[in-house]
Amino acid sequence: MPIREAGDSAVILQLEAGMPQRRNEIDAEVNSRAIRIAEGVRQRRIRGVRDVVPTFRSVAVFFDPLVTDLTTIVEALDERSDQRQPREAGRVLEVPVVYGGDAGPDLASIANAAGLTPEAVVARHASRAYRVFMLGFLPGFPYMAPVDEAIAAPRRPAPRARVAAGSVGIAGQQTGIYPRESPGGWQIIGRTPLELFDADKTPPALLTPGDTVRFVPVESYVVSGFSRTDTRASEVRLKPDTTDDRLKADTTYDSSARFITVLRSGLFTTIQDAGRWGYQHLGVPVSGPMDPASHRLANALLGNLPDAATLEATIIGPELRFEQDSTIAITGADLQPMLEGTPVVMGSVVRCASGSVLRFGNRRAGARAYVAVDGGIGVPQVLGSRATHVMSGLGGVAGRALHAGDRVPLRDRQPSAGGTARDRRIHEGGSVRLRVMAGPQTEYADPSALQVLQRTRFVVSPQSDRMGYRLTGSALPTRKDSGEMISDATVVGAVQVPPSGQPILLMADRQTTGGYPQIAVVITADLPRAAQLVPGDSIQFELCSRADAIAALTEQEGSVRGG
């Protein structure tokens, strides 16, 4: 089986659906095999493996390349891919849906395109049993198939800015359910009251790959009688009538604990730790710091654990008051930090007296600064992480960026080894060269695409954020005969190529799956440089080997740890 490198810290095992010309088809047997292989690799508990993610026809394994080696991962995938077992039956769930009207604004247009009545479209959509092939895009979002060919419809030419939670949509052969309000380009035909994802429940996702869903038309949100037919499953979960409490108000913390008061929030300040690993198979993004090297360095200066939560400030820093004596270190972008009017030296350890205020001035260089506090930020963990992911409303303070008036709790001080780490130069702005490894989906690109990628200077557009950077420059050529790629696992640092040919560089808040081919991946050691770019800065890409990538990461880690 083809095992493709996806940068230096991930590999993807592709399970082809028969002949090459069928590589974009949806195949339940192939998907079932991917699910079994992923579970087998997960059960091996290989040291350094962070996530194992099955998709329609592949298995992605994410790992720490300085802890485990590629050979160990490949051997585990080879061993599991050779095992043949019958497909197991998953659970069955009946999903009540109100079709059409405000709940299904695209039902009429799908009916017109198919030459059917809206009632006939509903009948065809509700007549099938749909397999849950994978979860992605959003936490708990199920990709299900196959849709009746007569009502299969392409994604909308332009995505909606807001799709309501519970919306049931169609995209080609697939149907899916939006777990929460978000932007989206699927054709919306109805809405369900079921809650697809709740981080406070076990398991957090209502559906898992391999389950079967049957849609049941209803006139209103009357759901009595609808339940999972699997007697081992829990009761049906209904979405609350009001907005999730995590998004409505700040969490109340113990007044006796140390905390920081946010006087001004800055442009976009969030709480980040090492990331929410272990849940990508449920569609939960990893998130974490955009510049992981600066994040770890700030913690190392204070003797914190490497994964302690810090504040990530973007371009315009916040104004913070320390309500108890604390010690801080600031790394990354130079946003001119000042404590009580006195400039703070970047990469130094600074004592903050009770009541002192940290402010930031104009940006000198870079995009993201990291404020570490002794002990680390102490907001509650959500799915094992304090990292904020705004789009899914997870982590941090109420799942959002900080607001003025927030009280950010601090953890107890940990025994410190002292600030032995060395600071590093931050990105000066303007132009950077990022090293990439080829793959994992180069077959969807023209053979010349990698050459064009290397000789083009791309500019970071204003349509860029923690999810990804939209780049402008020479369009990368794509293969016209490859067809639309079936959704697959994504990796941080991937260079995605949409139909326009203008690449997208995926960053820390990327979706866990995507339908655009990834033709190259920025090496882990160069992600911090990418993180410090602002709109208008430029990027040039340069192919490198895996050996070069690991050597660069080893050198970087030694610098952060003071080695």
Once rounded to an integer, what is the mean pLDDT over residues 431-437? 95
Mean pLDDT across the stretch 296-308? Answer: 95
Q: What is the DSSP string of 201-255?
A: SSSSBS--TT-EEEEEE-SSS--TT--BSSTTS-PPPB--SS--HHHHSPPP--T
| Spatial CA neighbour of 403 closest among 559, 223, 237, 268 | 268
Q: Which of 249-263, 446-460, 544-558 has the lowest mean pLDDT?
A: 249-263
Q: What integer pLDDT is reported at residue 82 of this predicted model?
A: 65
Share of the chain above pLDDT 70, in %: 86
- What does the block give as tokens for 61? 């394994």
Whether 456 contacts 473, CB under 8 Å: yes
Does the pLDDT of residue 431 top 90, yes or no?
Answer: no
Question: Under a CB-based contact definition with an 8 Å cutoff, are residues 296 and 303 in contact?
Answer: no
* 8-state DSSP, 389: B
pLDDT at position 558: 83
In order of their start, the domains of the chain are: 3-81 (3.30.1360.40), 92-229 (2.40.100.10), 248-409 (no CATH), 431-561 (2.40.100.10)
What are the CA-CA distances from residue 53 to residues 31, 204, 392 (Å)? 12, 16, 19
**Of 268-272, 338-342, 446-450, minimum mean pLDDT range:** 446-450
480 has pLDDT over 80: no
Give the residue carrying structure tokens 């090496």. Answer: 523
User: Residues 165, 181: contact at Cβ < 8 Å?
Assistant: yes
Average pLDDT of 317-323?
Answer: 98
pLDDT at 256 (0 to 100): 53
By mean pLDDT, which of 104-113, 249-258, 344-353, 372-381 is the weakest?
249-258
Strand partners, 407: 261
User: How far is Cα 433 from Cα 542, in angstroms, rounded to an integer?
Assistant: 7
Is 93 in contact with 213 (CB distance < 8 Å)?
Answer: yes
Confidence of residue 166 (pLDDT cuts 50, 70, 90): very high
Low-confidence winner among 22-26, 41-45, 203-207, 268-272 (lowest mean pLDDT): 22-26
What is the widest separation between alpha-carbon atoms in the chain? 72
Strands across the sheet containing 10-14: 3-5, 10-14, 58-63, 49-54
Cα–Cα–Cα angle for 483, 118, 116, rounded to 5 degrees: 65
Confidence band of 79 (pLDDT split at 50, 70, 90): confident
Nearest-angstrom CA–CA distance, 114 and 106: 12
How far CA 237 is from CA of 164, 199, 242, in Å, comes to 17, 13, 15
In the numeric block, the tokens 């946010």 are attached to: 262
**Rounded CA gap, 117 and 139, in Å?**
33
Kindly list the distances between the CA atom of residue 130 and the CA atoms of 214, 227, 377, in Å, as whole numbers in the listed order.
6, 16, 43
For residue 368, give the 3-state DSSP assignment: strand
CA 378 and chain centroid, separation: 22
For residue 18, pLDDT over 70 is answered with: no
What is the predicted pLDDT for the residue at 8? 97
Q: What is the mean pLDDT of residues 265-293?
A: 97
Torsion angle defined by CA atoms of residues 525, 526, 531 and 532, in that order, rounded to the nearest 10 degrees: 110
Residue 40 belongs to what H/E stretch? helix 28-43
Confidence of residue 522 (pLDDT cuts 50, 70, 90): very high
Say yes or no to pLDDT of 534 above 70.
yes
Q: Residue 385 has what pLDDT?
A: 98
pLDDT surpasses 90 at 430: no
Residue 418 burial (10 A CB sphere; 0-12, 13-18, 19+): exposed
109-127 confidence digits (pLDDT tens):
999 999 999 999 999 999 9
Residue 329, SS3 per DSSP: strand
Tell me the pLDDT band of 486, cut-offs 50, 70 and 90: confident
Count Cβ atoms within 10 A of the Cβ of residue 482 and give its class: 0-12 exposed, 13-18 middle, 19 or more buried: middle
SS3 292: helix
pLDDT tens digits for 410-424?
998 765 545 555 555
Q: What's the pLDDT score for residue 99?
A: 97
**Left, alpha or beta for 178 (phi > 0: left; psi -120 to 50: alpha)?**
beta
- Please provide the average confidence, as pLDDT, over all residues in the chain: 89
> Contact 496/518 with Cβ under 8 angstroms?
yes
Residue with the two structure tokens 């780049």: 471
Least confident range of 86-95, 303-312, 319-328, 336-345:
86-95
Q: What are 407's two structure tokens?
A: 């009280």
Q: How many percent of the chain have pLDDT more than 90?
A: 75
pLDDT digits (tens, 9 = 90+) for 30-64: 999 999 999 999 999 999 999 999 999 999 999 99
- Dump strand ranges (E) for 218-297: 259-264, 269-272
In terms of Cα–Cα distance, which of 307, 365, 309, 310 is closest to 337?
365
**60-74, 105-119, 243-257, range with the lowest pLDDT:** 243-257
Ranked by mean pLDDT, which of 84-98, 127-141, 470-484 comes out on top?
127-141
Tell me what pLDDT residue 24 has.
Answer: 58
Q: How far apart are CA 556 and CA 563, in angstroms?
A: 10
Of 7-21, 239-253, 271-285, where does mean pLDDT reach its minimum? 239-253
- pLDDT band at 445, cuts 50/70/90? confident
Contacts of 311 (CB under 8 A, 6+ apart): 269, 270, 271, 272, 318, 320, 370, 371, 377, 402, 408
* Residues contacting 318, CB < 8 A, separation 6+: 262, 263, 264, 265, 266, 269, 311, 360, 402
In this prediction the pTM is 0.90
Contact 444, 476 (CB under 8 A): no
Report the C-alpha gap between 123 and 220 in whole angstroms: 17
Residue of higher predicted confidence among 61 and 221: 61
* Residue reference for tokens 């936490």: 139
Total residue count of the chain as it appears in this document? 563
